Amino acid sequence: MKDLNAVTEMLYGDGEPMSGSAMTDAQALAHMQSRRLGAFCLVRDWMWLDLDVSEEQRAVLEQTGRQPVMLYAHFVVYDSAGRWDAGNFVRTSPLHRFDEGFLFKTSNTAYALLGDGVRKRVALETVARIF
C-alpha cells in the first residue's frame, strides 16, 4: 500500500508550479519541425521529477551526460516518431539538457513542455513503477 500511495502522490499530489511554453499546439509543432532536432514530442500536463538517487547512481548518470531528472506527462499532444498516440502518457529517460526554458532533451528525444507543469522530488523507485 505504501508503494501505491507514493505513486498516487507523485501523479496527483501538489508540486512547485513551473511554466513551459505558452505556444499553441500548432505553433509548437511548427517550431519543433523548423528546429530539426530529430525525434520530438509535444506534451501537456507535465511533471519535472527531480530524482532522489544514491551518489553511485548520480555518478553513473554524470558519466553518460545525464542528470537525475525525468519527465512525466499526463498528455501527449504529438510524437514525431509515432511511439505514443495523442492523449497517451509518457515517462522519459533521464534529462540530457534543458534548453529555451521548455525543451527537455533526453539522449533520444526532445520534449516540448507546453503550458504549466509542476516540479516534484521523488524516489527513483517510485518513478520506475510507472511504465
Q: Quick one: which of 72, 69, 84, 71 has its CA closest to 39?
A: 84
Lowest mean pLDDT among 5-9, 59-63, 79-83, 112-116: 5-9
Model pTM? 0.90
Mean pLDDT (the chain, rounded): 92
73: enclosing H helix or E strand: strand 69-79
What local confidence, expressed as pLDDT, does residue 43 receive? 98
Q: Quick one: which of 90, 123, 119 has its CA closest to 20?
A: 119
Tell me which residue range forms the domain holding 93: 2-128
For 122, phi then psi, to 5°, come to -140, 160
The grid coordinates listed for 30 are 511548427
pLDDT tops 80 at residue 56 = yes
DSSP letter for 93, please: -
pLDDT tops 70 at residue 127 = yes
Q: Give residue 131's pLDDT band: very low, low, confident or very high (50, 70, 90).
A: low
DSSP letter for 108, please: S
The answer to whether the beta carbons of residues 67 and 50 sit under 8 Å apart is no
Residue 13 DSSP SS3: coil
Count of structural domains within the chain: 1
In the chain, the percentage of residues whose pLDDT exceeds 90 is 74
pLDDT digits (tens, 9 = 90+) for 68-81: 999 999 999 999 99
The most confident of 13-22, 52-61, 70-79, by mean pLDDT = 70-79
